[in-house]
């Protein structure tokens, strides 16, 4: 599966557009991670606990989107975008979406 933020793929042409596909996950913060993040906030630096949490969330959302596109018969997803939103005070949604297409060599 080719997944790209661009509207085209060099050397390929779109033969069919299958429509919008998306994947999402909602993650809640963990008390233990919050304590570590609070300490890191005092001394400065990257909050690696949250970096790992968001990396896992991104991969899970991407996997779900690719699965949806595969079920439609796509072999590529164009124009993908990520967005986040707060669901509640301690939870956030990460959403990825794009256009499922069938491409072939030019």
Q: What's the confidence (pLDDT) of residue 92?
A: 85
pTM of the predicted model as reported, rounded to 2 decimal places: 0.84
Q: What's the confidence (pLDDT) of residue 32?
A: 58
Task: Give the chain's domains with CATH numbers.
Answer: 2-105 (3.30.110.70)
Q: What is the pLDDT of residues 18-27, one digit of tens each?
A: 999 999 999 8
Average pLDDT over the chain, rounded to whole? 88
Q: What's the confidence (pLDDT) of residue 33?
A: 58
The answer to whether residue 31 scores a pLDDT higher than 80 is no
Dihedral Cα 65, 67, 68, 70, nearest 10 deg:
120
Which residues, at least 6 apart from 31, have a Cβ–Cβ distance to it below 8 Å?
none
Q: What is the DSSP letter of 80?
A: E
């Amino acid at each position: 599966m080719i997944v790209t933020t661009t509207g085209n793929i060099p050397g390929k042409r779109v033969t069919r557009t299958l429509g919008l596909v998306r994947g999402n996950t909602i993650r809640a913060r963990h008390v233990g991670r919050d304590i570590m993040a609070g300490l890191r906030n005092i001394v400065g630096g990257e909050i690696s606990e949250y970096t790992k949490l968001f990396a896992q969330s991104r991969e899970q959302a991407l996997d779900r989107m690719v699965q949806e596109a595969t079920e439609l018969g796509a072999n590529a997803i164009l124009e993908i975008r990520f967005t986040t939103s707060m669901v509640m005070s301690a939870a956030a949604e990460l959403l990825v979406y794009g256009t499922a297409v069938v491409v072939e060599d030019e």
